[in-house]
C-alpha cells in the first residue's frame, strides 16, 4: 500500500500550496513529515476544501512554480542563496532597527513590544550564524557532490530550523496573529507586517532545505 501523502510532499509537488497552508496555519517545513490528512484534521479543515483552495490558487497563476525536486542540486542552492539568503541578510537588520524604534517610542504602552525585541534579536543572531554555516560549509559540500557525507551538519541545520520555527510561533502567538492594536502607529504596523512576511519567507526557505535539498543530498543526489 502507498504511504499517505505528507504535508511536505504536497508542497513539493504543488509549490502554490504554501499560500493555502499558511492561510490555515498548517506547518509545512518543520512539521512537513506529518500525513496531510492528519494536519488537516488538526486545522479543522477537510482535505476536499484544502484541495479546492489549492486548485483555485494554482489557477490564478499561468506559469507554475519550479519543481525543485526535479532540478539539479547546484541550481537549487543558487536559488536558495539568491531568493532567500540574500534578502534575509538585509531584512534582519531592517527588522531589528524597526523593532528597536517601536520599543523606544511605544514600549511603555505595550509590554509585548519588549518581548518581541528579545525574540527577534535572538532569532536574527541565530539565523545569521546559521546562514553562515550553510553558505561556507554545507552548501559547498552538497554542491560539489559530497552531500551524502553531510549527515552531521544536516542534523544541526534541522535543529536550528526547529528553533527558528519555535521563535516564529512565539511571535505569532504574542501578536495575536500579527494584528496591530488600534492605536498602533505606522512603524508599529510595518513591524508586525515585516515579521509576518519574515515568517512566510522562512517557512518557504526551510521547506526547500528540510524537505528537498537535504534529503536528496544525503541520498547522494546531485
Ligand atoms: Fe538557508
Ligand atoms: Fe537553513
**pLDDT tens across the length of the chain (222 residues):** 478 899 999 988 888 888 888 888 888 888 889 999 999 999 999 999 999 888 887 876 655 578 999 999 999 999 999 999 999 999 999 999 999 999 999 999 999 999 999 999 999 999 999 999 999 999 999 999 999 999 999 999 999 999 999 999 999 999 999 999 998 988 999 999 999 999 999 999 999 999 999 999 999 999
Ligand nearest to the CA of 126: 2
pTM of the model: 0.80
Domain residue spans in the chain? Answer: 7-59, 70-218
Q: How far is it, in rounded angstroms, from Cα 143 to Cα 213?
A: 10
Q: Are 143 and 151 in contact (CB under 8 A)?
A: no
Q: What are phi and psi of 31, to 5 degrees?
A: -100, 20
The reported pLDDT for the residue numbered 142 is 98
Ligand 2: distance of its center to the CA of 138 in Å? 10
The reported pLDDT for the residue numbered 99 is 97
Angle between helices 151-174 and 186-207 (to 10 degrees): 150
Ligand 1: distance of its center to the CA of 139 in Å? 9
Ligand 1: distance of its center to the CA of 131 in Å? 6
DSSP H helical segments within the chain, as ranges? 7-13, 17-23, 36-42, 47-59, 73-79, 86-106, 112-133, 139-143, 151-174, 186-207, 214-218
Ligand 1: distance of its center to the CA of 10 in Å? 21
Ligand nearest to the CA of 164: 2
Ligand nearest to the CA of 214: 2
Ligand nearest to the CA of 83: 1
With b for 16 or more beta-carbon neighbours within 10 A and e for fewer, the 132-154 pattern comes to: eebeeebbebbbeeebeebeebb
Q: Cell 531568493 identifies what position?
A: 83
Amino acid at each position: 500500500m502507498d504511504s499517505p501523502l505528507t504535508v511536505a510532499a504536497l508542497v513539493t509537488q504543488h509549490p502554490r500550496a504554501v499560500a493555502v497552508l499558511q492561510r490555515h496555519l498548517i506547518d509545512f517545513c518543520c512539521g512537513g513529515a506529518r500525513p496531510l490528512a492528519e494536519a488537516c484534521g488538526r486545522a479543522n479543515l477537510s482535505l476536499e476544501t484544502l484541495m479546492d483552495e489549492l486548485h483555485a490558487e494554482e489557477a490564478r497563476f499561468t506559469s507554475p512554480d519550479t519543481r525543485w525536486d526535479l532540478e539539479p542540486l547546484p541550481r537549487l542552492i543558487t536559488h536558495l542563496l539568491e531568493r532567500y539568503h540574500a534578502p534575509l541578510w538585509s531584512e534582519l537588520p531592517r527588522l531589528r532597527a524597526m523593532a528597536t524604534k517601536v520599543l523606544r517610542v511605544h514600549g511603555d504602552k505595550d509590554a509585548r513590544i519588549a518581548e518581541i525585541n528579545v525574540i527577534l534579536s535572538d532569532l536574527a543572531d541565530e539565523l545569521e550564524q546559521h546562514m553562515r554555516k550553510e553558505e561556507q560549509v554545507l552548501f559547498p559540500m552538497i554542491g560539489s557532490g559530497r552531500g551524502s557525507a553531510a549527515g552531521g551538519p544536516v542534523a544541526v541545520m534541522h535543529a536550528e530550523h526547529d528553533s527558528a520555527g519555535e521563535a516564529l510561533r512565539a511571535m505569532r502567538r504574542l501578536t495575536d496573529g500579527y494584528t496591530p492594536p488600534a492605536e498602533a502607529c505606522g512603524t508599529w504596523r510595518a513591524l508586525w507586517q515585516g515579521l509576518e512576511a519574515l515568517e512566510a519567507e522562512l517557512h518557504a526557505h526551510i521547506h526547500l532545505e528540510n524537505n528537498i535539498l537535504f534529503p536528496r543530498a544525503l541520498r547522494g543526489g546531485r
